[in-house]
């Protein structure tokens, strides 16, 4: 089995998983001698996966063969149903010379003295400014790279037999900067904190990102009646219904009856520490304990952004620190 894994890794193949029963071979023997194992797998290369939006492998039961039939369902990219693009903070934005001025302007314009509520409004305002700036100023790295490479090819073709021109040097410098931005972007998606910037191994980053996306994706859900939901709409409906029933309150529920049987874990001394005001040092320490690519809650503002927006390496001398330290929420 180890040799098989080495061969799969050497060839750059990805296991596509499966939908159905967790085995592909049954020796059809009686109790005590029956063996069911997953011998057959669907594998694909990165170039094949790039051709399709999603690839699913179905285990289809057969009546004569002792092997299941593997059916590959390849779904093409479709532009008919486009989801609204969520805001994603990009670490590569910080390489642009106009980035810091944009952040300073957005932060100073929206920041008041309203504590955490005002902080949230300020972050929303900065998010809106960043979205507009990305579209109008920063642009798409991949599209810009493709255009510059075509322009460089034309320039070098025009000057065959000559040395480097000034325009060629400028194009090479711009392409080098865009490659660095692409590296930061792919590294952020791969969540590879151990690899330092500068390697430009975007193929590795893309492979890790694809593996993370596959690991985090849900290809099917089993309903209570045993049927399987595989389409996106059906999966969303099953998940919504499950959690709605899970978290819905029971009829005639009396919380006091339940709380009588819950042992008290928080002492008065612990409660006093939890409800005391925040200090600027606590906020600073909490920010730096979070990973650079972590995005608190659903706003997707990564922790790389916060020190820059706060104007320091931390938040100890931030103007809103006094207001923030006055509020602490305990649940």
Q: Could you list the pLDDT tens digit for every one of the 331 residues in the chain? A: 788 888 888 888 888 888 888 889 988 888 788 888 999 999 988 888 888 878 889 888 887 788 888 989 888 866 555 556 677 788 888 888 888 888 888 777 765 555 667 777 877 888 888 888 888 888 888 888 888 888 888 887 877 767 778 888 888 888 888 888 888 887 777 665 555 555 555 666 666 666 666 667 787 888 888 888 888 888 889 999 898 888 776 666 777 777 888 888 888 899 998 888 888 888 778 877 776 666 554 445 555 555 555 554 444 344 344 344 344 433 3
Q: Which of 79, 122, 78 is nearest to 104 (CA)?
A: 122
Whether the Cβ atoms of residue 63 and residue 26 lie closer than 8 Å to each other: no
Tokens 């990219």 locate to: 77
> Buried (b) or exposed (e) across 241-255, using 16+ Cβ within 10 A?
eeeeeeeeeeeeeee
Whether the Cβ atoms of residue 224 and residue 61 lie closer than 8 Å to each other: no
**How many of the other CB atoms lie within 10 Å of CB of 320?**
19
Beta strands at 221-222 and 69-75: parallel, antiparallel or unpaired: unpaired
Measured between its terminal Cα atoms, the distance across the chain in Å is: 49
Q: How far apart are CA 179 and CA 48, in angstroms?
A: 24
Whether the Cβ atoms of residue 54 and residue 147 lie closer than 8 Å to each other: no
Tokens 């949230």 locate to: 120
State the Cα angle at 17 between 233 and 85, rounded to 5°: 40
What are the residue boundaries of the structural domains of the chain, listed by start? 2-75, 140-217, 218-262
Whether the Cβ atoms of residue 127 and residue 299 lie closer than 8 Å to each other: yes
For every residue of 130-198, DSSP letters joined together read HHHHIIIII--HHHHHHHHHHHHHHHHHHTTTS---HHHHHHHHHHHHHHHHHHHHHHHHHT-TTSPTT
């Amino acid at each position: 089995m180890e040799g098989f894994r080495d061969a799969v890794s050497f060839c750059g193949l990805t296991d596509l998983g499966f939908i159905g029963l967790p085995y592909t071979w049954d020796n059809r023997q009686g109790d005590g001698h029956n063996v069911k194992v997953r011998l057959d797998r669907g594998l694909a290369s990165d170039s094949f996966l790039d051709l399709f939006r999603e690839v699913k492998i179905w285990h289809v039961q057969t009546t004569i063969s002792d092997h299941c039939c593997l059916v590959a369902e390849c779904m093409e990219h479709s532009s008919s149903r486009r989801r609204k693009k969520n805001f994603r903070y990009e670490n590569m934005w910080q390489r642009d010379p106009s980035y810091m001025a944009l952040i300073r302007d957005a932060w100073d314009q929206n920041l008041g003295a309203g504590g955490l509520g005002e902080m949230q409004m300020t972050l929303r305002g900065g998010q809106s400014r960043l979205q507009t700036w990305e579209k109008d100023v920063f642009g798409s790295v991949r599209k810009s790279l493709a255009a510059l490479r075509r322009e460089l090819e034309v320039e070098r073709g025009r000057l065959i037999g000559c040395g480097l021109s000034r325009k060629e040097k400028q194009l090479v410098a711009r392409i080098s900067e865009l490659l660095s931005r692409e590296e930061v972007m792919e590294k952020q998606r791969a969540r590879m904190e151990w690899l330092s910037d500068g390697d430009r191994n975007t193929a590795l980053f893309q492979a890790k990102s694809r593996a993370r996306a596959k690991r985090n994706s849900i290809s099917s859900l089993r309903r209570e009646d045993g049927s399987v939901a595989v389409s996106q709409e059906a999966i969303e409906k099953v998940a919504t219904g499950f959690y709605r029933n899970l978290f819905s309150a029971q009829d005639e529920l009396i919380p006091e009856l339940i709380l009588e049987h819950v042992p008290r874990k928080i002492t008065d001394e612990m409660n006093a520490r939890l409800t005391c005001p925040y200090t600027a040092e606590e906020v600073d320490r909490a920010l730096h304990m979070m990973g650079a690519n972590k995005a608190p809650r659903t706003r997707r503002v990564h922790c790389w952004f916060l020190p820059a927006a706060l104007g320091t390496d931390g938040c100890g001398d931030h103007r809103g620190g006094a207001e923030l330290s006055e509020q602490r929420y305990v649940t």
